[in-house]
Amino acid sequence: MLKLVFRNLIRNRRRSLLTATSVAVSFTLLLVFFAAYRFLEAPPASDTERSHLVLIVAAATSAIQPMPISYRSRIERLAGVRSVTQVFWFDARYKNEDTVIPSLSLDPQVLFTFFPNWRLPDEAKKEFIREKVAALAARNTANKYGWKVGDRIHVSSPNYFGLGVDLILRGIYESDQEQEQSYLVFHWDYLNDVLGSPNVTGQFWILADSPEVMPSLMKNVDAQFKDETIQTRTQTVKQFVVNFISWLGNVKLILVSISGAVVFAVLLIMANTMAMSIRERVTELGVLRALGFHTNALLAMLTAESFIISLVGAAAGCLAAWAICQAAGGYALGGGLLVNLEIGATGVFCALGVTILTSLASTLVPAYRDSRLSIADALRYTG
SS percent in the chain: helix, strand, coil, step 5: 55, 20, 25
0.85 surpassed by pTM: no
Yes or no: say if 329 and 341 are a contact pair by the CB < 8 Å rule. Answer: yes
Domain boundaries in the chain? 2-44+250-380, 66-229
Residue 103 buriedness (CB in 10 A; 0-12 / 13-18 / 19+):
buried
pLDDT recorded at residue 297:
81
The tens-digit pLDDT sequence of the chain (383 residues) is 677 777 777 777 888 888 888 888 888 888 888 888 777 666 444 443 556 789 999 999 887 889 999 999 999 999 999 999 999 988 888 987 777 888 999 999 999 999 998 999 999 999 999 999 999 999 999 999 999 999 999 999 877 767 889 999 999 999 887 678 889 999 999 999 999 989 999 999 999 999 999 999 999 999 999 999 999 999 988 778 777 666 655 667 777 788 788 778 877 877 777 777 777 777 777 787 788 877 788 778 888 888 888 888 888 988 998 888 887 765 555 544 556 677 878 888 887 887 788 777 777 777 777 666 677 776 776 65
Yes or no: say if 120 and 171 are a contact pair by the CB < 8 Å rule. Answer: yes
Yes or no: say if 358 and 197 are a contact pair by the CB < 8 Å rule. Answer: no
Query: Other C-beta atoms within 10 Å of 121: how many?
Result: 12
Coil vs helix vs strand at 141: helix
> CA–CA separation, 23 vs 39, rounded Å?
24
At 327, which amino acid appears? Answer: A
Beta strands in the chain (DSSP E): 54-59, 67-68, 81-94, 101-106, 134-138, 152-157, 163-173, 184-187, 200-201, 203-208, 232-236, 332-334, 337-338
pLDDT tens column, 149-171: 999 999 998 777 678 899 999 99
